[in-house]
Amino acid sequence: MYICRTEFIAMKKNIVLALFLALAAPLALQAQESAIKGVPDDVYYLLPEFADGYVYLRGQIPAQGKMNICAVDQTLRYFDDNGTELEAADADNILRVRIDTVWFLRSRGAFYRMYPLSADTGIGLKREVRILTDAKQGAYGTTSRTTSIQEYSTLYAEGSLHQLNSGKEYPYEVSENLFLYKGETVYPLSKKNLTRLFPDKKEDIEAYLKAGKALPKTADEMRSLLASWAR
């Protein structure tokens, strides 16, 4: 039987995706639903909805599918042919993910949304969501947490208390932090690492910081600042 080149390529992509999904484990959805319903999709996931994308794996050709990334546990999620949400296993072999037109870099167990400054250098935005299942609401809308929950430096989402399936109100925390990346390596945002990535701009970096100017808090503002240094 003759198979044209286009059909062969399509078959090859489907085989790669099938092999990748064979390593995926179905999510324990019933166990998680009570802790995630009520949290908006655009908070629970890094993108508002699942979209077609590619996952680039170490030592393999890219796999294609409808995907998103969970901000709670930093896992890559897929829909299979039956519409079941799957969690991709072997995440350490994921290098990068492109969903629609958005790129993510996988490093240190997390996904960083990429804001390129040059071919191999840019800003990485890491967003994490933590659902505080043992937090209790106090007077005047304040929230207390038991000592079993580690304290985090985070930004709190407006109106952070939500009604979940269990009938209890749990708050969630959202944190967004900026990093730098070069190639596949992610660096904390600091004077030292700015100088590491832009050695020719050391004097500019020092002058900016000595002037008492704070580094921008958003990726777009940071990209505007660093664009001239990246040239």
Per-residue pLDDT tens over the stretch 146-189? 322 222 222 223 333 333 334 444 578 889 999 999 999 999 99
132 pLDDT more than 50: yes
Question: What pairs with residue 25 in β-bridges?
Answer: 87
133 pLDDT more than 60: yes
Burial 57-72 (b: 16+ CB within 10 A, else e): beeeebbbbebbbbbb
71 pLDDT more than 90: yes
Give pTM, 2 decimals.
Answer: 0.73
- For range 185-210, the mean pLDDT: 94
Instruction: List all residues 6 or more positions away from 42 whose beta carbon is below 8 Å from its beta carbon.
Output: 48
Least confident of 19-28, 106-115, 199-208: 19-28
Instruction: List all residues 6 or more positions away from 117 whose beta carbon is below 8 Å from its beta carbon.
Output: 123, 223, 226, 227, 230
Domain ranges for the chain, please list them. 5-189
* Distance from C-alpha of 197 to C-alpha of 215, rounded to nearest angstrom: 16
Share of the chain above pLDDT 70, in %: 67
CA distances from 228 to 103, 222, 224 (A): 22, 11, 8
Share of the chain above pLDDT 90, in %: 43
7 pLDDT more than 50: no
DSSP 101-148: TEEEEEETTEEEEEEESSSSEEEEEEEEEEE-TT-EE-GGG-EE--TT
Question: What pairs with residue 121 in β-bridges?
Answer: 182
- For range 30-39, the mean pLDDT: 46
Q: Which pLDDT band, with edges at 50, 70 and 90, does 38 fall under? A: low
H/E element holding 157?
none
| Between 69 and 144, residue with greater pLDDT | 69
Q: Which pLDDT band, with edges at 50, 70 and 90, does 131 fall under? A: confident
